[in-house]
Structures are given as C-alpha cells and as structure tokens.
Structure 1
C-alpha cells in the first residue's frame, strides 16, 4: 500500500518502548556502536550525544534512525542482534526472534547501502569494479565495556517500594531460594534491610547479568509487578549514584 511505512520501521516502532527500557542502562555504549555502524548522520549524532538523560538519549537515537529510513532501521536491528550488544544487554535476546517481513515476498527485505555516497565516489576512482564497503569504510575501534551493574545505592532506593510481598518477589521473580529468604528474615529485624539484603543477594548471584535494566524488567513483570514510577530510578544514569 502506498505510503505505508517499511517493515523494518514498523518493527522498530512496535518494539520502541521495550528497547528504550533495555538500552537506557548504557545509552552511550549504544550510541557509539550505532555511530560506528554509520547509522546516524553527523548532525544526528551530535543531537543524540547532547542528551544527558539516558532514556532521552535512546529515544532520540531510535527516532533519528527511524527517520533515516528502512536501511538504517535494518542496520540497527542487525546491530542489536550482534554478540557484543547481546552480551551487554542480555534482555535483548528477544530481538533475535523478531524479523521484518516484506508483504510482496514474505521474506526478509534486502538492505540498501546506508552510505551510497561512498560507493559512488570509490566507483568513480576505480572504474566499474564494485565497491566493497569493508575496504572503504573502516569501522571505528570501540573498546569493549563491561556491563554496567546496578549500584547498591539504587537497590536501597528501590527497597522501600517493595512491601509485604517481598518473599513472593524473591522466590517468583528473582529466583531466590526460600531458605535464603528465611535466613535474611532472621538476620535483619527491619523490613527495608530485609528487602535490601534480598536485592543484594540477587545482584551477587547474577554476576554480570545484575544490571539495573535487568532488575527493572524483572520487577515490572509478573503477578507481583511493582508500579513503574517506584522503580524508574533503575533506569537513571548509573554514574549519578557514584556521587
């Protein structure tokens, strides 16, 4: 149908809210990888870079790529499926099962080049020989960063928002053994410290998966889901909690 958005763009829009929640855990990491993959214009990069709030930075990044068209949208989808992004954001595993389908063929839509001007310039220099983008557009080298783990201060901020159902959340949501919860209950007399100890145990047991974004996702789902406004501090810039 004329005027209908491309499948890749529709897909990104449908997953936009979920991607914002997940990628906000390390927005700068996502921005640098998107820039390295040539998914943003120079002005777009500067606009997104200027954002200081992680959620706003990720939102601007997604909006800019969607506006650039289906090639950029498909490029971002492929980036999110890559090993480095999957290791940094484990909750992105769902994106591997999501694929844009074209109505006419029923299969994946071919991805046009995101940097056609480079192909044109190289072709003019080397005659009719096809341009290999891997030879002409070297990737920026990005030092791999460890996942940003949730800070203890963030856990303490969330703890007062978990009420009498803390054990149900511990067992059903955070997969903590009941025996451990009973021990915490004996060790701590105040409710807030019981909850904090439970969250701290989750952080220790999850190791590199103990990111603020993962904890936010867990606490916002299931029968014991917490109101989003009570746990949104988990999506704030983690560097602020180092002060």
Structure 2
C-alpha cells in the first residue's frame, strides 16, 4: 500500500502551476539559489540547466526536487521564504500563508474547508493579505498579468528601446528574453513581467502608464489609458 506523500511534497504539487508562473520570471536565479543549497543532484542540475524555456526550466526544477523527497521539498520551501527570493518574486509571499510548523514535519498544507476555517480563526490580518499585495502604500493597484499582456500586444519593434530607456531593463536580460522566447508578444510580456518583479511594490498600473507615456518611446494614449482605470 503506497504511503501518502509528505506534507512538503503535497504543498509543492498543489501550488505547482502558480509557482511555475511566478518563478519563470527569472528561472536561472532560482536554479542557482537551489543549487547553492544542494537541493539538486549534479545530474539534476545539468538537466534543469539545459532547459531553454524558463517555464520548462522551473517545471523541471520542481519535478526534480519533488522526486528527491520531503527533505529537498522542505529545502525549497525554506528557500522561497528567503529574503532574496521574496524580494525578487514578491508574489511568493503567499507561500507563508500556506504553511504552518508541525511537530512531525516542517510544513503542513491546509486546503479547502480547513484553509477557510484557518483564515476565519486568524481573523482580518490574514484575510487582508491578498488586498495588501495588490495595493501599494499610496493606494494604487499593482499591475496585473492580464494588463501586462494587453500592453505587450501594443508594443512593436521598439520593445528593446522601451525596455532599456523606459523600464531600466538590463541589456543582458533583454538578450536572454530574446533567446528564451521566439514570439514577439511573449518577449515583450516577459520584459514587462521582469519589470514588475524588479519594481516590487512600485509596480503599479499608474506607474507603468507614466513610464510608457514619456519621451520618444511614448505609446498612443488609447492603447495604455486602460491602466488608469479603477476596478
């Protein structure tokens, strides 16, 4: 009779799709940190490193760590709570809300009715977690993935210039994005996601609108004014 997977592995599997979406913004950064903590075998590291597409690289990384067992899974969870990862990927903060310390294992995933009950017991502090992530200190909403994709569809061949001059994206990062993505819109979307990750709480829709409305690279107002709309 097969044993039930450890809590750490259950947590990673249940959040796998979300983690792939978040960590793909800088897959190499995650890989190097995971390797520095010896979470991968030498063969596993080379296998993950060989993946060219960021989402595939993160998928391979997660699969490899899950296969290595609870200890490696817990190591990855601890890594994702590390300050360096939290600052690089602000959206990883949700991980802290999904785990609690237990005597038998490092983490326990609560889901369904249990998760709802846990939120109710802890009161408004946990229930306000999601809004606090979406709204920065000045009340402006952080830009959403859907908005980034809409903007990406409006940026043409000048995307590299916009990346360097308007969004302060390093040239080496733009080159990496160009290598990792073959479709133009995916390249622009990856660039915008990198900007959002690097800006953290400053990555508001209004801020992005301001940056894309300046100088010679200004986009047509009708293509980006939706960023100023309130929900």
Taking structure 2 as the reference length, the TM-score comes to 0.50
The answer to which structure, 1 or 2, has the higher relative contact order (CA under 8 A, 6+ apart) is 1
Larger Rg: 1
TM-score, structure 1 normalization: 0.48
